[in-house]
Amino acid sequence: MDSPSKPSLIERLSALISREPEDRDELLALLHSAYERNLLDADALSIIEGALQMSDMQVRDVMIPRAQMDVIHLGDSMEKIAGFVIDTAHSRFPAVGEGKDDVAGILLAKDLLRYFAGREFDLRDMLRPAVFVPESKRLNVLLREFRVSRNHMAIVVDEYGGVAGLVTIEDVLEQIVGDIEDEYDFDEIGDNIRLDQGGRYRVKATTEIEDFNAAFATHFSDEEVDTVGGLVIRQLGRLPKRGEAIVLEGLKIQVLRADSRRVHTLLVDRVASAVDAREA
């Protein structure tokens, strides 16, 4: 006689919540109970919690603020634009005219291959249409629109029609699954500090203070925090957003990757004649 097949995850969850929860808190309690009984693993629980949290969030909660947007200026030379694209290492850039409120379109970094190949290239002709969304749009709605339209970036506007920032599909998905690694992230778990092509260092936020001090000849204390990510959070007094930076002991420490829950990657560069932020 054949043994019964192992119930699927959906079947196990259905059995768990056969008694309908009254509210979200009760649903989360049931999910945590399922995790404790090994019906869910930690990753599945985290994804479900992230999806529930995302439905309550708005674009303004995860967008890259206007001041931290990396944009290309249509009036710049192609040499300057190409250098900027290489240095910042993004895949998409808003292209602006007179200022950040004048968004003409989106440039895909891969479209510059035509320019580097010496073929005919007109920057304005290469721009993709920009999509504009309000700050108040819910993330689950935006994700659905991204999927339908196949767009990966949207320009965020405030109630007056001015540009407030930008948001990418990666920013939205990271609220569900956590940090998404790409080709510019670290390949090896133990490789916490890496020199990039621009002479700056990409540092995992989980790098211990002792290791960071040894690498950069700094003297940060590890009495209150254990990691360099914790150091940045303590200095700012809050969880930073992507693009924010502080200067400490002659080092500019910029947040490269972060979500609403934690800091992931930092960009560290030595600053000439830098003033220690703790003495400012």
Same domain, 202 and 166: no
Which of residues 40 and 66 earns the better pLDDT score?
Answer: 66
Residue 38 pLDDT: 76
Assess if residue 9 is contained within a domain.
Answer: no
The mean pLDDT of the chain is: 80
Both tokens of 132, joined, read 């504009």
Same domain, 75 and 156: yes
Check if the beta carbon of residue 227 is closer than 8 Å to that of residue 207: yes
Assess if residue 139 is contained within a domain.
Answer: yes
Same domain, 248 and 165: no
Same domain, 80 and 143: yes
Same domain, 159 and 221: no
Assess if residue 248 is contained within a domain.
Answer: yes
Average pLDDT over residues 269-277: 61
Residue 8 pLDDT: 67
Same domain, 140 and 64: yes
Average pLDDT over residues 166-176: 85
Same domain, 163 and 197: no
Same domain, 65 and 151: yes
Assess if residue 275 is contained within a domain.
Answer: no
Question: What is the residue range of 89's domain?
Answer: 60-177
Domain holding 104: CATH number? 3.10.580.10
Tell me the pLDDT tens digit for each residue of 52-111: 777 788 898 888 888 888 899 999 998 899 888 887 778 899 999 988 999 999 999 888
* Confidence band of 275 (pLDDT split at 50, 70, 90): very low
Residue 4 pLDDT: 57
Assess if residue 236 is contained within a domain.
Answer: yes
pLDDT at 229 over 70: yes
Domain C-terminal end among 177, 211, 236:
177
Assess if residue 162 is contained within a domain.
Answer: yes
* Confidence band of 271 (pLDDT split at 50, 70, 90): confident
Average pLDDT over residues 233-241: 86
Same domain, 83 and 151: yes
Domain holding 202: CATH number? 3.30.465.10
Residue 114 pLDDT: 85
Domain count, the chain: 2
Among 67-81, 98-112, 180-194, 237-251, name the one with the lowest average pLDDT. Answer: 180-194
Domain C-terminal end among 124, 148, 177:
177
End-to-end CA distance of the chain: 77
